[in-house]
Amino acid sequence: MYDIFKTSITTQISALSGVSAEIVEPAVGVSNNMANGDLTLTVSRLRMKDNPTQIAKTLAEQWKADDMVTGAEAAGPYINFRINRTVLTRSVLQTVHATGPKYGWTNEGAGKRVIVEFSSPNIAKPFHVGHLRSTIIGNFIYKLHKAHGWDAISMNYLGDWGTQYGLLALGFERFGTEEELVADPIKHLFDVYVKVSAAAKEEAEHIEAMDADAAAAAGPTIQDQARAYFKSMEDGDESALALWQRFRTLSIEKYKQIYARLGVHFDVYSGESQIGEGMSRAIQMLTDTGLLIEHEGAKLVDLTEHKLGKALMQKSDGTTLYLTRDIGAAIERYEKYNFDKIIYVVSSQQDHHLKQLFKTVELLGLPYADRFEHVNYGLVNGMSTRRGTVVLLEDVLHESKEKMHDIMRANEAKYRGVADPDHIADILGMSAIVIQDMAARRIKNYAFDWSRILNFEGDTGPYLQYAHARLCSLERKAHVKVNPDADVSLLTEEVTCDIINQISLYPDILAASIKSLEPCTVVQYILKLSHSISSAWETIKVCGEADDVAEARLLMYWSARTVIGNALTLLGLEPVEAM
């Protein structure tokens, strides 16, 4: 938004100093302290021979004010510039009005395709809070790329293959019922898995206590049967695959309900089971390149010289592992989607696995090996519910919603005026969880704190939603309409200048975020903008003011509300208009 002013400064400084515009332009930036100036030139970056402080003084004295940049003042090795605030304000507010929900968007990624793989729960296991971070961070990254013009594909790579499904099938035969499966597939299959795992553990302990002959005569263990069952799945046994497919289909339908509540959409539901020839091709390529070596019947890739240990690719019984399937998936995805970038949104606990994957792909000599990226994140500590220590995401969302409902009911008069309090409570509850998660850099572990996140004051999700709703209310109550041609020269107060500056920076925030892939950049930005609005609220009024003043102020507030709403949407949240 400052580009027209930067261009004016660049042109004149280049003419005065003899330094090319290509060098001057990146040396001009938005000032850290607006009290000193709007834009600042770092003179040392001009690469001139003389003392930067003396150069700054000389250039500032030679500066000729114009309609765009009204003054220049040297400050040590810097030059601070004052710009025409009316021009800036008009440009910013009219641009927001014209572009609305796409304010700050670019075409930077036009013609490029990115796959964002995130969430990726295990079929037949509950959607626990450990999947929350991948889901909401991945959704943000997906939306962010779309905002920058990328052809973005959101992919859910389900954990739907492996020996555990053999164990689950055996457990269902022993402990499962059709009625419970249909009623709540994920919960029932999880209960079945817990029971059969306990039975397998008890059996193993019992056998361990036997002498060798008795143990040998005991026959196949539950784990032996599970491995055999999974082997039959890999060999294409129709009966085994039919039961597994039913578990998979029912689980996905349940997951979709949770994703709908979170406002998350997936373009592709993939999974380890969907990897076909890519897996066998991966094994063959590893063999042909001499990377695959045998060890006690198993096959592995030795990555010790890269400080990544030995990567097991195939067990001695011929079954594959996660890493093998991930390599096969990478091959098939590139051939199908021809991606320019693929981003894996997976916790930092999987850093080693992803490093092994990326290094193996590189050693295979695949031409797209440099297109892989791992976006990691830390752990959530202290997240528990009234139900106990097994923390399911649905339980957390339900409890958060109920807590918000209790807070809303405390103000009976306002509560009666909310059109759909149940829906609003659900949005506020999710906002509380999401904003706490995204408030700091994603790699940091954080402590989940109910008392803090549900507060309407401070840096919380409910506070941001309240700021948005209050601005919506102002627009409904105003005696004037939003007018993009309002006389913005009337916005001269220091606090209004601060709000305009904040609004103008949103495109820069999006530009910075696509580089760092840090949601906290957006969260901290809208918190600061909301605080600025709060500071102006009691003195910069709309209602009761003359029409021209009211129109200018309403346009500013409307623009701020639009930016906050856009940012909340980017973070995966539905902006609340009344609460």
Catalytic residues: 125, 128, 131
Environment class of 325 (CB within 10 Å of its CB; exposed 0-12, middle 13-18, buried 19+): buried
Nearest-10 crossing angle of helices 393-409, 130-147: 80
* Rounded-to-integer distance, Cα 377 and Cα 436, Å: 14
Q: Name the token pair of 399.
A: 């409890």
If you search the block for the tokens 């506020």, which residue do you land on?
A: 428
How, if at all, do strands 268-271 and 151-158 pair? parallel
Q: 271 near 160, Cβ under 8 Å?
A: yes
Q: What is the Cβ-side half-sphere exposure of residue 287, based on CA atoms within 13 angstroms?
A: 9
* Rounded-to-integer distance, Cα 503 and Cα 501, Å: 6
**SS3 string of 341-377?**
EEEEECCHHHHHHHHHHHHHHHHCCCCCHHHEEEECC
28: closest CA among 15, 14, 48?
14
CA torsion, ordered 356, 358, 360, 366, to nearest 10 deg: 170
571: closest CA among 113, 563, 112, 157?
563
Q: Which residues face 39 on adjacent strands?
A: 30, 81
Element (H, E) at 422: helix 421-438
User: End-to-end distance of the chain based on CA atoms, in angstroms?
Assistant: 33
Q: Which residues face 302 on adjacent strands?
A: 310
Q: 446 near 433, Cβ under 8 Å?
A: no
What count of residues does the chain have?
579
Q: 554 near 480, Cβ under 8 Å?
A: yes
* Sheet (strand 69-75) strand order: 28-30, 39-42, 78-83, 69-75
* Rounded-to-integer distance, Cα 397 and Cα 426, Å: 8
Each residue of 174-201: b (16+ CB within 10 Å) or e?
Answer: ebbeeeebeeebbebbbbbbeebbebbe
Amino acid at 483: N
* Rounded-to-integer distance, Cα 299 and Cα 313, Å: 6
If you search the block for the tokens 């739907």, which residue do you land on?
A: 160
Dihedral sign for Cα atoms in the order 380, 386, 392, 396: negative
Taking every pair of Cα atoms in the chain, the longest distance, rounded to a whole number of angstroms, is: 99
Contacts of 71 (CB under 8 A, 6+ apart): 63, 65, 81, 82
Tell me, rounded to whole angstroms, the distance of Cα 566 from its chain centroid.
15
